[in-house]
Protein backbone atom coordinates (compact mmCIF):
# COMPACT_ATOMS: atom_id res chain seq x y z
CA UNK A 1 0.00 0.00 0.00
CA UNK A 2 1.49 3.40 -0.89
CA UNK A 3 2.10 5.54 2.17
CA UNK A 4 -0.11 8.52 2.78
CA UNK A 5 1.25 11.95 1.77
CA UNK A 6 1.26 14.36 4.66
CA UNK A 7 2.77 17.25 2.66
CA UNK A 8 2.46 17.74 -1.09
CA UNK A 9 4.25 20.64 -2.71
CA UNK A 10 3.69 21.60 -6.33
CA UNK A 11 5.75 24.08 -8.34
CA UNK A 12 6.84 26.16 -5.37
CA UNK A 13 8.54 29.49 -6.04
CA UNK A 14 9.99 31.90 -3.51
CA UNK A 15 11.51 35.19 -4.52
CA UNK A 16 12.93 37.49 -1.87
CA UNK A 17 12.71 41.13 -2.85
CA UNK A 18 14.58 43.78 -0.90
CA UNK A 19 15.57 47.33 -1.84
CA UNK A 20 18.92 46.16 -3.17
CA UNK A 21 18.35 42.65 -4.47
CA UNK A 22 15.89 40.18 -5.86
CA UNK A 23 16.77 36.57 -5.06
CA UNK A 24 14.94 33.65 -6.62
CA UNK A 25 15.53 31.20 -3.78
CA UNK A 26 13.09 28.49 -4.99
CA UNK A 27 12.35 28.12 -8.69
CA UNK A 28 9.65 25.48 -9.03
CA UNK A 29 10.07 22.76 -6.42
CA UNK A 30 7.66 19.79 -6.28
CA UNK A 31 7.82 16.97 -3.75
CA UNK A 32 5.81 14.67 -1.47
CA UNK A 33 6.47 13.84 2.14
CA UNK A 34 4.74 10.72 3.41
CA UNK A 35 3.74 9.96 6.99
CA UNK A 36 6.70 8.23 8.62
CA UNK A 37 9.34 9.57 6.20
CA UNK A 38 12.78 10.59 7.38
CA UNK A 39 13.14 13.24 4.69
CA UNK A 40 16.61 14.74 4.35
CA UNK A 41 17.42 17.87 2.35
CA UNK A 42 20.98 18.58 1.20
CA UNK A 43 22.58 21.15 -1.10
CA UNK A 44 25.28 23.80 -1.17
CA UNK A 45 25.13 27.03 0.82
CA UNK A 46 22.46 29.28 -0.63
CA UNK A 47 20.76 26.51 -2.63
CA UNK A 48 17.43 27.23 -0.91
CA UNK A 49 17.28 24.55 1.81
CA UNK A 50 16.22 26.78 4.71
CA UNK A 51 13.83 28.65 2.43
CA UNK A 52 12.18 25.35 1.52
CA UNK A 53 12.02 24.23 5.16
CA UNK A 54 10.41 27.53 6.14
CA UNK A 55 7.78 26.97 3.46
CA UNK A 56 7.13 23.36 4.50
CA UNK A 57 6.88 24.39 8.15
CA UNK A 58 4.46 27.29 7.46
CA UNK A 59 6.98 29.81 8.77
CA UNK A 60 6.74 31.77 5.53
CA UNK A 61 4.53 31.95 2.44
CA UNK A 62 5.60 31.16 -1.13
CA UNK A 63 5.58 33.61 -4.02
CA UNK A 64 3.57 30.98 -5.95
CA UNK A 65 2.81 27.28 -5.97
CA UNK A 66 0.71 25.07 -3.72
CA UNK A 67 1.36 23.36 -0.42
CA UNK A 68 -1.15 20.81 0.85
CA UNK A 69 -0.69 19.76 4.47
CA UNK A 70 -2.88 16.97 5.80
CA UNK A 71 -5.23 17.51 2.86
CA UNK A 72 -5.57 21.27 3.45
CA UNK A 73 -4.38 24.09 1.19
CA UNK A 74 -2.46 26.07 3.77
CA UNK A 75 -1.63 29.00 1.47
CA UNK A 76 -5.24 30.12 1.45
CA UNK A 77 -5.42 30.14 5.26
CA UNK A 78 -5.20 33.19 7.48
CA UNK A 79 -2.11 33.79 9.60
CA UNK A 80 -4.15 32.86 12.66
CA UNK A 81 -5.16 29.49 11.22
CA UNK A 82 -1.57 28.81 10.16
CA UNK A 83 -0.30 29.68 13.62
CA UNK A 84 -2.75 27.21 15.16
CA UNK A 85 -1.43 24.46 12.88
CA UNK A 86 2.17 25.37 13.75
CA UNK A 87 1.55 25.06 17.48
CA UNK A 88 -0.56 21.91 17.35
CA UNK A 89 0.92 19.91 14.52
CA UNK A 90 4.45 21.01 13.73
CA UNK A 91 7.71 20.96 15.70
CA UNK A 92 10.91 22.90 14.97
CA UNK A 93 14.56 22.37 15.81
CA UNK A 94 17.24 24.85 14.79
CA UNK A 95 21.02 24.77 14.62
CA UNK A 96 21.38 27.15 17.57
CA UNK A 97 18.77 25.39 19.80
CA UNK A 98 16.74 28.60 20.41
CA UNK A 99 15.99 27.75 24.05
CA UNK A 100 14.89 30.48 26.47
CA UNK A 101 18.06 31.34 28.41
CA UNK A 102 16.31 32.25 31.67
CA UNK A 103 14.11 29.13 31.82
CA UNK A 104 15.13 25.66 33.03
CA UNK A 105 15.07 22.65 30.73
CA UNK A 106 11.75 21.57 32.23
CA UNK A 107 10.21 25.03 31.78
CA UNK A 108 11.49 25.30 28.20
CA UNK A 109 9.81 22.02 27.27
CA UNK A 110 6.57 22.87 29.08
CA UNK A 111 6.20 26.28 27.45
CA UNK A 112 4.60 25.37 24.09
CA UNK A 113 2.00 23.21 25.87
CA UNK A 114 0.96 25.78 28.43
CA UNK A 115 -1.53 27.66 26.29
CA UNK A 116 -3.75 24.64 25.87
CA UNK A 117 -3.18 22.29 28.81
CA UNK A 118 -3.27 22.37 32.61
CA UNK A 119 0.05 23.05 34.31
CA UNK A 120 0.33 19.64 36.01
CA UNK A 121 -0.20 17.86 32.73
CA UNK A 122 2.42 20.05 30.98
CA UNK A 123 4.92 19.31 33.72
CA UNK A 124 4.34 15.55 33.61
CA UNK A 125 4.56 15.46 29.82
CA UNK A 126 7.74 17.59 29.77
CA UNK A 127 9.40 15.32 32.34
CA UNK A 128 8.45 12.25 30.36
CA UNK A 129 9.92 13.73 27.16
CA UNK A 130 13.15 14.89 28.80
CA UNK A 131 13.52 11.35 30.07
CA UNK A 132 12.72 10.01 26.59
CA UNK A 133 15.50 12.05 24.97
CA UNK A 134 17.99 11.17 27.71
CA UNK A 135 18.37 14.40 29.71
CA UNK A 136 16.28 13.72 32.81
CA UNK A 137 19.32 14.70 34.90
CA UNK A 138 19.01 18.27 33.57
CA UNK A 139 15.39 19.10 34.49
CA UNK A 140 16.24 22.08 36.68
CA UNK A 141 19.31 23.34 34.85
CA UNK A 142 19.43 26.44 32.66
CA UNK A 143 20.48 25.96 29.02
CA UNK A 144 23.94 27.48 29.63
CA UNK A 145 24.58 24.79 32.27
CA UNK A 146 24.05 22.08 29.65
CA UNK A 147 26.33 20.85 26.85
CA UNK A 148 25.45 21.57 23.22
CA UNK A 149 24.21 18.01 22.72
CA UNK A 150 22.06 18.23 25.85
CA UNK A 151 20.64 21.57 24.74
CA UNK A 152 19.70 20.09 21.38
CA UNK A 153 18.00 17.16 23.14
CA UNK A 154 16.03 19.64 25.25
CA UNK A 155 15.03 21.43 22.04
CA UNK A 156 13.91 18.10 20.57
CA UNK A 157 11.85 17.34 23.68
CA UNK A 158 10.27 20.79 23.36
CA UNK A 159 9.42 20.16 19.70
CA UNK A 160 7.58 16.98 20.73
CA UNK A 161 5.50 18.39 23.57
CA UNK A 162 2.31 19.01 21.57
CA UNK A 163 2.57 15.71 19.68
CA UNK A 164 3.45 17.15 16.26
CA UNK A 165 2.70 15.31 13.04
CA UNK A 166 5.96 16.56 11.51
CA UNK A 167 9.26 17.66 13.03
CA UNK A 168 11.41 20.11 11.04
CA UNK A 169 15.11 20.40 11.79
CA UNK A 170 17.50 22.88 10.12
CA UNK A 171 21.08 21.60 10.50
CA UNK A 172 20.42 20.29 14.04
CA UNK A 173 23.92 18.84 14.43
CA UNK A 174 25.96 21.66 12.89
CA UNK A 175 27.07 23.10 16.24
CA UNK A 176 27.89 19.72 17.80
CA UNK A 177 30.99 17.56 17.99
CA UNK A 178 30.77 14.26 16.14
CA UNK A 179 29.85 12.15 19.21
CA UNK A 180 27.02 14.51 20.23
CA UNK A 181 25.89 14.74 16.60
CA UNK A 182 25.65 10.98 16.38
CA UNK A 183 23.58 10.93 19.59
CA UNK A 184 21.14 13.39 18.04
CA UNK A 185 20.92 11.40 14.80
CA UNK A 186 20.26 8.16 16.72
CA UNK A 187 17.54 9.95 18.68
CA UNK A 188 15.91 11.11 15.44
CA UNK A 189 16.20 7.61 14.02
CA UNK A 190 14.45 6.15 17.03
CA UNK A 191 11.70 8.82 17.00
CA UNK A 192 11.21 8.06 13.32
CA UNK A 193 11.32 4.28 13.25
CA UNK A 194 10.03 3.37 16.73
CA UNK A 195 7.44 6.13 17.17
CA UNK A 196 6.64 6.88 13.55
CA UNK A 197 7.35 10.62 13.74
CA UNK A 198 7.76 12.22 10.33
CA UNK A 199 11.07 14.10 10.22
CA UNK A 200 12.22 16.70 7.68
CA UNK A 201 15.85 17.61 8.22
CA UNK A 202 18.54 19.67 6.51
CA UNK A 203 22.16 18.60 6.75
CA UNK A 204 25.56 19.32 5.24
CA UNK A 205 27.00 16.08 6.64
CA UNK A 206 27.24 13.40 3.97
CA UNK A 207 27.30 10.56 6.53
CA UNK A 208 23.96 11.71 7.97
CA UNK A 209 22.20 11.14 4.64
CA UNK A 210 22.28 7.39 5.38
CA UNK A 211 19.45 7.99 7.86
CA UNK A 212 17.11 9.17 5.10
CA UNK A 213 14.12 7.29 3.75
CA UNK A 214 13.91 10.04 1.11
CA UNK A 215 16.76 12.27 0.04
CA UNK A 216 16.38 15.57 -1.81
CA UNK A 217 19.34 17.51 -3.13
CA UNK A 218 18.67 21.14 -4.03
CA UNK A 219 20.83 23.09 -6.47
CA UNK A 220 20.24 26.76 -7.07
CA UNK A 221 16.58 26.67 -6.02
CA UNK A 222 15.74 23.59 -8.06
CA UNK A 223 15.41 19.89 -7.32
CA UNK A 224 18.70 18.35 -8.40
CA UNK A 225 18.18 14.76 -7.26
CA UNK A 226 15.24 13.24 -5.41
CA UNK A 227 15.07 9.59 -4.38
The DSSP bridge partners found for residue 64 are 13
> Is residue 16 near ligand ATP by the rule CB under 6 A?
yes
139/45 Cα distance (integer angstroms): 36
Q: Is residue 111 a contact partner of residue 99, using CB atoms and an 8 Å limit?
A: no
Q: Which residues, at least 6 apart from 126, have a Cβ–Cβ distance to it below 8 Å?
A: 106, 109, 110, 113, 157, 161
DSSP state of 88: H
Binding-site partner at residue 43 among ligand ATP, Mg ion, none, CB < 5 to 8 Å by type: ligand ATP
Binding-site partner at residue 47 among ligand ATP, Mg ion, none, CB < 5 to 8 Å by type: ligand ATP
Site residues (CB under 5 A) for Mg ion, limited to 37-56: 49-50
> Is residue 162 near ligand ATP by the rule CB under 6 A?
no
Instruction: Using CB under 5 A, count the residues that bind Mg ion.
Output: 2
The DSSP bridge partners found for residue 42 are 217
Binding-site partner at residue 149 among Mg ion, ligand ATP, none, CB < 5 to 8 Å by type: none
Smallest distance, ligand ATP to C-beta of residue 121, A:
37
Cβ proximity to ligand ATP: between 52 and 109 the closer is 52
**Contact track, ligand ATP, 31-50, x by CB under 6 A:** ------------x-xxxxxx
DSSP state of 4: P
Cβ proximity to Mg ion: between 45 and 76 the closer is 45
220/227 Cα distance (integer angstroms): 18
Site residues (CB under 6 A) for ligand ATP, limited to 48-107: 48-51
17: enclosing H helix or E strand = strand 5-17
Q: Is 6 exposed, middle or buried (0-12, 13-18, 19+ CB in 10 A)?
A: buried
Smallest distance, ligand ATP to C-beta of residue 129, A:
28
- Alpha-carbon dihedral of residues 58, 99, 186, 3, nearest 10 degrees? -20
Interacting residues with Mg ion (CB under 5 A): 49-50
Which positions lie near ligand ATP, rule CB under 6 A? 16, 18, 23, 25, 43, 45-51
Amino acid sequence: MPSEAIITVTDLYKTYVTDEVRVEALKGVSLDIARGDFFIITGRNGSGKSTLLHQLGLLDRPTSGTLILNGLDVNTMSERERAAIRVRELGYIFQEYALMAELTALENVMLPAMMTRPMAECRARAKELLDRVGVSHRLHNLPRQCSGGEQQKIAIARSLVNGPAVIFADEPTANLDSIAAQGIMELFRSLNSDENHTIVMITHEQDETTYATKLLNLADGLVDTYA
